[in-house]
Amino acid sequence: MIDFLNQLPTPLISLIGFIVTISFLVTIHEYGHFWVARRFGVKIEKFSIGFGKPIIKWHGRRDNTEYCIAWIPLGGYVKMHGEHYDDIRDSQAATGCDSHSEAHHDISDITDVGDVDTTGKDVANDEGSFLGLPAWKRFLIAFAGPGVNLFFAVFALWLLFIIGIPALSPYIGSVERHSPLYGHVEAGDRIVSIDGNRIETLTDTVIHLVDNMGNPTTTITVVDSDNISKQAVVDLSHLPDGSELDIEKALGFHWEIAEVGQRQPATVDSVVIGSPSDKAGLQTDDVIIRANDKPIANWQDFVTVVQANPNTAVVLLVKRNGHRQQLILTPAPHRQHAAIGYAGVRGRFDPSIYDKYRTKKKYSAIDALPMAVRENYLQGKLIVKMLGRLVTGQASIKNMGGPISIADYSGKSLQMGYVTFFKFLAAISLTLAVMNLLPIPVLDGGHMMICTIEMIRGKALSERATGLLMRLGLSLMLAFMAIVIGVDLWKYLLN
């Protein structure tokens, strides 16, 4: 299956990954609301996967709920009876019931958005309505959606930890003189803990360093090749905005695994027949030394030159059988990105040079559960912290990603295999849960906040107050989505 996907155009793979990701995560999210609401006796009028015109729809035999799959796979929804006051009034008008005649409200009450309740009797008399439930039940229905996403994130990581998640060990490469680590750690040292938290992988390191941004003292513990422990206390409180995107660069060091690849010469492994490289005369075992009179130290240097010169002649100096030879290569425009050059040649790499850095996060079924909870807690905390830094202007908006970013990463993770894609699903599920739990009206967290206020006050917020909060929440979310999509367009189209 993975081999088949890798043969498809990149945009199509991204589209497939996006549809699978969003459809699955939204389905389980909405099913959470659906399942709990049904248990509390709420009538479910519609359960839709996707938006727009239905591709297929049917009605449940027992509950008469309309189930449908729609054309636009960007989400889904559960429509519960009596979610809004207008729904209840319409329902009661259809049955000839009018409770408003019994209610009297002084005109002066309209200024008190917290106490006016024009629908109390409507709600009480409407069987199977969402608003007719006690606040604590509505709270649980609202929590059920993100709750299922949290459960899936933990379950997915628990399962992956049992299987074993491929990862990279955090070996430090070169350390620059201006780095706070300079003089305390050396190339080849491996990070084993940050502020007492155990570090196993490069990803663990990045998560903890970013989480500690703003802290004046962070203790990084490493071990050298002789297994001797060393410590460095660094100040992360004055890092420039946007440092979370490249935390090691902000701290003035490099990962050894990146530098190992850069030390490999630009040796040709194979040439595509009929490609620009074939026409230029490149052959297997050629070592590319210079391109347009610029030194080529590694394969990435050569790739950079090729990509920057579509339809432009590039003068190559290669070493072949001990002799130097000059060739003229004219990269063709890439079939998916015309502004990028394509040469049709593959570099040679020795996979064994990376064996030192390969590791696996693998635990027993019992140990995997607390590790899965811990991992999700750390990442969830980091999401909330990054949102706070974005709001206060301490973090770059480049950290934000919308539908285009999700499509891009879902496609890439699909190409890398099932384990990587499943881990990606867990990460997006966690993000979906955290975002939905924010106390913003129109989000699940906003509904939970309103229910909490109702439980504390002992009575519901008025229809007017609720409507005002919902409009405010909707405005915030529309503004947020506009920014996210704008950043996406800038990253993928304009930049």
Residue 95 has what pLDDT?
46
pLDDT in tens, 287-310: 999 999 899 988 889 999 999 999
Instruction: Please indicate, yes or no, whether residues 142 and 24 belong to a single structural domain of this protein.
Output: yes
Residue 3 has what pLDDT?
60
Residue range 362-381: average pLDDT? 94
Q: Please determine, for residue 210, whether its predicted confidence score (pLDDT) is greater than 80.
A: yes
Instruction: Please indicate, yes or no, whether residues 112 and 11 belong to a single structural domain of this protein.
Output: yes
Q: Please determine, for residue 14, whether its predicted confidence score (pLDDT) is greater than 80.
A: yes
Asked, for residue 324, whether it belongs to a domain, the answer is yes
Residue 4 has what pLDDT?
62
Confidence class of residue 102 from pLDDT cuts 50, 70 and 90?
A: very low
pLDDT in tens, 113-164: 334 344 455 555 567 888 889 999 999 999 999 999 999 999 999 999 999 9
Instruction: Please indicate, yes or no, whether residues 137 and 210 belong to a single structural domain of this protein.
Output: no
Maximum mean pLDDT: which of 78-87, 99-108, 111-120, 422-431:
422-431
Asked, for residue 9, whether it belongs to a domain, the answer is yes
Q: Which of 269, 329, 257, 275 is nearest to 299 (CA)?
A: 269
pLDDT, greater one: 265 or 102 = 265
Instruction: Please indicate, yes or no, whether residues 76 and 144 belong to a single structural domain of this protein.
Output: yes
Confidence class of residue 100 from pLDDT cuts 50, 70 and 90?
A: very low
Residue 103 has what pLDDT?
34
Active-site residue among 30, 244, 256, 375? 30
DSSP type of residue 334: P
pLDDT in tens, 422-431: 999 999 999 9
pLDDT in tens, 51-62: 888 999 998 888
Instruction: Please indicate, yes or no, whether residues 133 and 179 belong to a single structural domain of this protein.
Output: no
Q: Give the position of tokens 């506009």.
A: 482
Residue 108 has what pLDDT?
30
Residue 6 has what pLDDT?
61
Q: What is the pTM of this model?
A: 0.79
Residue that terminates a domain, selected from 304, 320, 347: 347
Asked, for residue 412, whether it belongs to a domain, the answer is no
Residue range 163-192: average pLDDT? 93
Q: Please determine, for residue 493, whether its predicted confidence score (pLDDT) is greater than 90.
A: no
Asked, for residue 395, whether it belongs to a domain, the answer is no
Instruction: Please indicate, yes or no, whether residues 278 and 254 belong to a single structural domain of this protein.
Output: no
Instruction: Please indicate, yes or no, whether residues 258 and 289 belong to a single structural domain of this protein.
Output: no
Distance in angstroms (rounded) separating the CA atoms of residues 218 and 224: 19
Instruction: Please indicate, yes or no, whether residues 37 and 143 belong to a single structural domain of this protein.
Output: yes
Tell me whether strands 323-329 and 332-333 are parallel, antiparallel or unpaired: unpaired
Residue that terminates a domain, selected from 361, 394, 415: 361
Residue 334 has what pLDDT?
86
Asked, for residue 386, whether it belongs to a domain, the answer is no
- Tell me the backbone φ, ψ of residue 342, rounded to 5 degrees: -130, 130
Least confident piece of the model among 91-105, 327-341, 373-387: 91-105
Q: Is 454 a catalytic residue?
A: no
Instruction: Please indicate, yes or no, whether residues 27 and 144 belong to a single structural domain of this protein.
Output: yes
Which structural domain, as residue segments, surrounds residue 296? 265-347
Asked, for residue 422, whether it belongs to a domain, the answer is no
Confidence class of residue 107 from pLDDT cuts 50, 70 and 90?
A: very low
CB atoms within 10 A of CB 393: 9
Q: What is the mean pLDDT of the chain?
A: 85
Residue range 3-7: average pLDDT? 62
Are 386 and 244 contacting, i.e. CB atoms less than 8 angstroms apart?
A: yes
Residue range 320-349: average pLDDT? 89
Confidence class of residue 362 from pLDDT cuts 50, 70 and 90?
A: very high
Residue range 223-239: average pLDDT? 91
Q: Please determine, for residue 218, whether its predicted confidence score (pLDDT) is greater than 80.
A: yes
For residue 236, the SS3 value is coil
Confidence class of residue 228 from pLDDT cuts 50, 70 and 90?
A: very high
Least confident piece of the model among 114-128, 190-204, 221-235, 463-477: 114-128
Distance in angstroms (rounded) separating the CA atoms of residues 3 and 158: 27
Residue range 79-94: average pLDDT? 64
Asked, for residue 275, whether it belongs to a domain, the answer is yes
Instruction: Please indicate, yes or no, whether residues 21 and 71 belong to a single structural domain of this protein.
Output: yes
Instruction: Please indicate, yes or no, whether residues 192 and 305 belong to a single structural domain of this protein.
Output: no
Confidence class of residue 87 from pLDDT cuts 50, 70 and 90?
A: low
Residue 281's CATH number: 2.30.42.10
Residue that terminates a domain, selected from 290, 318, 347: 347
Structurally, how many domains does the chain consist of?
3
Residue range 402-418: average pLDDT? 84
Instruction: Please indicate, yes or no, whether residues 356 and 472 belong to a single structural domain of this protein.
Output: no
What is the chain's Cα-based Rg?
29
Asked, for residue 404, whether it belongs to a domain, the answer is no
Are 30 and 23 contacting, i.e. CB atoms less than 8 angstroms apart?
A: no
